[in-house]
Structure 1
């Protein structure tokens, strides 16, 4: 279940899941988004915007997870991806595959 106040997904049932995130940046010299499971770093997405041009990146992971594990995405130094209007051109999605 996704918590809109924390940006954390708590896995409801054990199984194979797909998680994907996409983001855009046009300000910083580099923006990194990282997918975590229970605090373990799984995959990154990185953009290097220049000259005010917008750049997009993202990543996808297929994971076997146990009930109760936590999954989230962190954006740069600003913390988990949720509710920050600065990152309105982002997405984070997941689904149970089996």
Structure 2
């Protein structure tokens, strides 16, 4: 079993070949290939390689499956005794990717 730990969008993800996951929005269009070169660790057949902080020459390639927005989060601001109420919503954009290969 081969897996890697990749950093993108300020977050770290544990990925394997064939995985589909949601990451922070990327600029690549649907169907395009994305290469992640910030690989923190790779495990192959029980042997773990850890970078300092990244592994040189390692990369993970993925294909962009879709773009979308997450669930709506309600933001409600309220101050008592002043008739101050503000209700807004937020939907975080994301990119769904499918991992194709892990190299390095």
TM-score (norm 2): 0.28
Structure having the larger proportion of residues in strand? 2
Greater RCO structure (CA 8 Å; 6+ sep): 1
TM-score (norm 1): 0.29
